Amino acid sequence: MGLNGTPPILKIERFKYIIILNKITMTKLQALRHEAVRKILGKVEIETIIKKIEGRRLKQTERNYLHRSIRPKLIAAGILAQENILNEINKDNREDASAIEYSLSHYGYEMISLKKKKGKIIPIEELMVMILAKFPKARFIEAIPIIIIKNHIDTFKLLELTSSYGVKNKIGYLLETAMMIKPMNYLKDLLLYLYSNKEYEVSFLVEGDYEFLSEESPARVRKWRLLGRFFDEDFANNAKVYL
Which of 202-206, 220-224, 232-236 shows the lowest mean pLDDT across its residues?
A: 202-206
User: For residues 131 and 125, what is the distance between their CA atoms, to the nearest angstrom?
Assistant: 10
CB 182 within 8 A of CB 216: no
Helix (H, G, I), strand (E, B) or coil at 204: strand
What is the crossing angle of helices 124-134 and 155-165, to 10°?
Answer: 20
Among 121, 119, 120, 188, which residue's Cα sits nearest to residue 153?
188
Among 137, 70, 128, which residue's Cα sits nearest to residue 103?
128
The pLDDT of residue 4 is above 70: no
Confidence label for 18 from pLDDT (cuts 50, 70 and 90): very low
Give 178-182 contacts, CB < 8 A, sequence gap 24+.
178/144, 178/145, 178/146, 178/148, 178/149, 180/232, 180/235, 181/145, 181/149, 181/235, 181/236, 181/239, 181/243, 182/149, 182/239, 182/243
User: For residues 124 and 171, what is the distance between their CA atoms, to the nearest angstrom?
Assistant: 13
The pLDDT of residue 223 is above 50: yes
**What is the structure's pLDDT at 69?**
85
Q: Report, as an integer, the average pLDDT of 210-223.
A: 89
Helix (H, G, I), strand (E, B) or coil at 25: helix
**What is the structure's pLDDT at 87?**
66
The DSSP secondary-structure symbol of 110 reads -
